[in-house]
Amino acid sequence: MNVADCLFCKIVAKELGSEIVMETDNVLAFRDINPGAPTHVLVIPKEHIASAQELGSEHGTLLAEMFGVMADVAAGAGLDGGHRLVTNVGPDAGQSVHHLHFHVLGGRAMSWPPG
């Protein structure tokens, strides 16, 4: 897909509104528009990466920054009972936005396996 048409690139560029929770040099965290749990935050790289399938060793520093943001989001939301981190990759997993994102979900008990 064309990066210019990427929904999350537009959120990064602030061309599209979002409820931002946290922002670092390379990472943005904002609330999911259709929350699946009391806390549902998406954590994305500002750089366009289509999915986790595109990640390589060159993204190690970026991934550390993303996981740091995820931990801060969970702590900031008071998710003391735990939380779930999810990234969907491709059609079978139901990936609907082709810009890497981790879902940070919490605030309720969750079942396993997911649907």
Q: Kindly list the catalytic residues.
A: 101
Measured from the CB of residue 35, what is the shortest distance to ligand AMP in angstroms?
Answer: 8
Task: Name the one residue in this structure whose structure tokens are 């990234």.
Answer: 87
Q: Among residues 26 and 51, whose Cβ is nearest to ligand AMP?
A: 51
DSSP 78-91: T-TT-EEEE---SG
Q: In the complex, what is the shortest distance from the CB of residue 106 to ligand AMP, in angstroms, rounded to a whole number? A: 15
Task: Give least dist CB 37 to ligand AMP, A.
Answer: 11
Task: Compare residues 8 and 74 and give the one whose CB is closer to ligand AMP.
Answer: 8
7 or 85: whose CB is closer to ligand AMP? 7
Going edge to edge, which strands form the sheet with 39-45? 20-23, 27-31, 39-45, 102-106, 83-86
Spatial distance between the Cα atoms of 86 and 88, rounded to a whole number of angstroms: 6
Break the chain down into helix, strand, coil percent, rounded to 5: 30, 20, 50
Which residues are at the interface with ligand AMP (CB under 6 A)? 7, 18, 32-34, 42, 88, 94-97
